[in-house]
Amino acid sequence: MNKLPIVNFKIRSQNEFETGEMCYLEGDKAWMTISSTDLFADKRVLIFSLPGAFTPTCSSQQLPAFDERFNDFKKLGIDEIFCISVNDSYVMNAWSNYMGVKNVQMIPDGTGQFTRMMGMLVNKDHNGFGMRSWRYAVIANNLEIEQSFVEEGLNDSGTDDDPYIETNPDNIIEFLK
């Protein structure tokens, strides 16, 4: 695949009042439809995907590492960093708030459409997850994929393999240098 898939993401907006409490908008303002073109065109982006919000490796290592290393990526020519997961917008918003994410934009791929079109949708029924994303990352410039990083062992086999080597921020930074 040379280009990122063109899909529409359904994103539930949220506002934070001065009290620091989250307030979810209602009616027409509650849901936004944002295309992958709107998100990724005319810039160089790093997109990483993971099996699920609130899961151990994703929460303790991967998401925090990308958020903390944001400025390192900026210095190496990355304009924005996106985290995509086959979770709904409510879950992605709650996870982002819980983790205190400051620099990574969270994209819910609730139906798995983007992930499927990337060839990364796998069956995680053995964990009770259903269809989820394999762990991968891409660098894309104006929707053109420059480089892909995919964890070894992409499978639907029901094993508990969840490698986190290729998609580690240090590995991607080394490539960018």
Active site annotation includes 83: no
Number of other residues whose CB lies within 10 A of the CB of residue 71 = 9
Query: What is the CB neighbour count within 10 angstroms for residue 123?
Result: 14
CB 104, CB 63: distance < 8 Å: yes
- Kindly name the residue from 4, 11, 58, 138 that is annotated as catalytic: 58
| Of residues 55, 66, 48, the one with CA closest to residue 160 | 55
Give the type of residue at 136: Y
Which residues, including other chains, have CB under 8 Å from residue 74's CB and lie 6 or more apart?
none
Helices (H), the chain: 36-40, 56-57, 63-68, 70-75, 89-99, 113-117, 169-176
Active-site annotation, residues: 58
